Amino acid sequence: MLRVALTGGLASGKSFVGRILAEQGCRVIQADALGHQVLAPRGEAYAEVVHRFGSGILNEEGQIDRRKLAEIVFGNPEKLALLNSLVHPPVRKRIAAALNEFELEQPNGISVVEAAIHVETGSYQDYDRLIVAYCSPELQIQRAMHRDNLSRAEVEARLSQQMPLAMKRKYAHFVIDTSATKEETAHMTKRVFCQLRSIRQ
């Protein structure tokens, strides 16, 4: 099985690229979705995160309000590091289990793990290829403000915690520029898929 890491940054278009790859037959695993699962009330990280950050991060239903949690950790490297230390290990276990399951199902398949911090954590080195979804910082800001209903200051605070996309490009086997239309981005993604498929043949 070919293991591919897909990364980018906040609102860089990586999830759109992931959807196109899934349509082509790749098994796409979203680290962010797994992060939601481990923070859910019965998730592996829930109890310890609530213990460390307080009940003020909970909504009326007792679920962790990710926006409240983000307000605490973004701009505070120590608290962000603490949160990551609680969330990342169970997410990595879930990713490993999903990859192993897919490899048993399709030994010659292509798996894609989408995560914002593959490069920052060095986890990209565990994969056969790295794809970076790229656009300008200003476009990231505009997209995130529109998509997530965030202020410019909130978006900039989050981006300040991530490696600039221009630096991530240096590690990539493939760079997909998401600045243009969705149709053009989809076309570029399909071309990358063809190259990945050729590696498997």
Quick one: which of 106, 105, 102, 91 has its CA closest to 33? 91
Pick the CATH number of 2-200 from 3.40.718.10, 3.40.1710.10, 3.40.50.300, 3.40.50.150: 3.40.50.300
pLDDT of 115 reads 95
Enter the tokens of residue 110.
Answer: 């292509």
Residue with tokens 């196109």: 20
| Positions in the chain whose pLDDT score sits under 70 | 200-201
CA torsion, ordered 67, 73, 76, 79, to nearest 10 deg: 170
Domain-by-domain residue ranges, the chain?
A: 2-200
Q: Is the pTM of this model over 0.95?
A: no
pLDDT of 201 reads 56
Residues 108-118: tens digit of each pLDDT: 999 999 999 99
To 5 degrees, how large is the angle CA 160–CA 73–CA 18?
60
